[in-house]
Amino acid sequence: MIIIITGASHTGKTLLAQRMLEKYKYPYLSVDHLKMGLIRSGNTALTPEDDGALTEYLWPIVREMIKTAVENRQNLIVEGCYIPFDWRSDFGEEYLADVRFICLAFSGAYIDAYFEEIKAHASDIETRLCDDCDAAALKADNRVYADGFRAAGERVALINGDYEKAINELMADFFKPEQGDVMTFETERLILRTWEESDAESLYEYAKDPRVGPITGWPAHTSVEQSREVIRGVLSAPDTYAVCLKEDNRAIGSIGLFRPDNEHAELSGGELEVGFWIGVPFWGNGYIPEAVRALQKYAFTQLGCTAMWCGYYDGNEKSKRAQEKCGFTYHHTVYGKWVPMLGEQRTEHLNRITREEWLRLRGADGTEV
């Protein structure tokens, strides 16, 4: 998910982004830092006072960074000024589905009542080297943002009372799934659903086993708290699901779709990769092939996927057999593949299935032939 936070000066854009980073582990990009880096490096003759020209200069860069993050299925917060009122016109629906936006603004009454407090908190997150704002200028700046984005049909959070309450409500609202955002899949025996922090104990129970993580490229978990952090920072990614038995809805494994990380994949063509693991007590029951088939149908019939990849490290015969059961066939091998979470090199085998191959195996409507 991409979150764009903009608004007038002093409204707390950086504060909101910083708190989201601390609580939900979403990294954030400061457009102001980008601006100053480009100015101080001599890559532009513009100055910090050239607001209008800076928007025209910075937005194309920020826009393409957002597109890259969406394509890579990465979470990112973009905060700062220099977001044009008509920013949506630069994105197709395939990008907008992953972007959320908010404009922060103070009401005139709030500025009148709390102007000294606003100034006192100006450097809470970042030290302002120069802060010469006055109440009239602050009101004018807030009106420009509020009126401009409202006219464009965008969401404006007008702060008119308890500031902390407003910020906390925004944080909770951003990370509350919107209607239609949450995908849940049901198969004959399984439910695939989004991970929740309450799954931490179940995740730890199976991820602490050294037979599970290391063979797929990550170290065994060492505590429930570590598992909870993994849910927040890794398993919260789009199209990542807990594999649960229907009988109790308890997480026993994980499966997800992401952009392929190999030179043979056609990223512009909508190719995806599927990754998975399941707890040792559930090996040999066919649960993973059942889950993979559900995501294959979703990817090929709803996401416009043209081909799906799946890989396994040398020696992981269980994963190899599960992939073969789902129609994947051998494509190529990567020798000396760096595994960053384990700090070692491995041999990785990549399998692939195209949409046409899947249709021949499954039928045009995704049902078993």
Give which of 238, 196, 222 is closest to 69, Cα–Cα.
Answer: 238
Residues in the chain: 369
Determine whether domain 185-362 maps to CATH 3.40.50.300: no
To 10 degrees, what angle do helices 224-233 and 200-207 make?
Answer: 110
Q: What is the pLDDT along the chain (369 residues), one digit of tens a residue?
A: 899 999 988 888 888 888 888 877 788 899 999 999 999 999 989 888 887 798 899 999 999 999 998 888 788 999 998 899 999 999 988 888 888 899 998 888 888 888 888 877 665 556 554 556 788 888 898 999 989 998 888 888 888 888 888 888 777 666 655 444 567 999 999 999 999 999 999 999 999 999 999 999 999 999 999 999 999 888 988 889 999 999 999 999 999 998 776 666 554 457 899 999 999 999 999 999 999 999 999 888 878 788 999 999 999 999 999 999 999 999 999 999 999 899 999 999 999 999 999 998 875 444 453
Phi and psi at residue 351, to the nearest 5°: -110, 160
What is the Cα–Cα distance from 188 to 186, expressed in whole angstroms? 7
Distances (CA, A) of 174 to 87, 102, 133, 166: 19, 9, 30, 12
- Three-state secondary structure call for residue 224: helix
Residue corresponding to tokens 């944080």: 171
Beta strands in 13-57 (DSSP E): 28-30
Domain 2-174 has CATH 3.40.50.300: yes
Other CB atoms within 10 Å distance of the CB of residue 6: 25
Side chain identity at residue 161, one-letter code: G
| Closest of 74, 84, 71, 104 to residue 2, by C-alpha | 74
Domain range annotation of the chain: 2-174, 185-362
- From CA 87, how far away is CA 340, in angstroms rounded? 36
Residue 332 β-bridge partners = 350
The secondary structure of residue 151, as a DSSP letter, is H
CA–CA separation, 150 and 132 (whole Å) = 27
Q: Check: CB of residue 331 under 8 Å from CB of residue 307.
A: no
Calpha distance 296→323 (Å, rounded): 12
User: Do 2-174 and 185-362 come out as alike in CATH topology?
Assistant: no
pTM for this entry = 0.54
Q: Rounded to an integer, what distance in angstroms lies between the CA atom of residue 16 and that of residue 274?
A: 33
Nearest by Cα to 19 from 166, 130, 224: 166
Extract the tokens encoding 21. 């980073």
3-state secondary structure of 102: strand
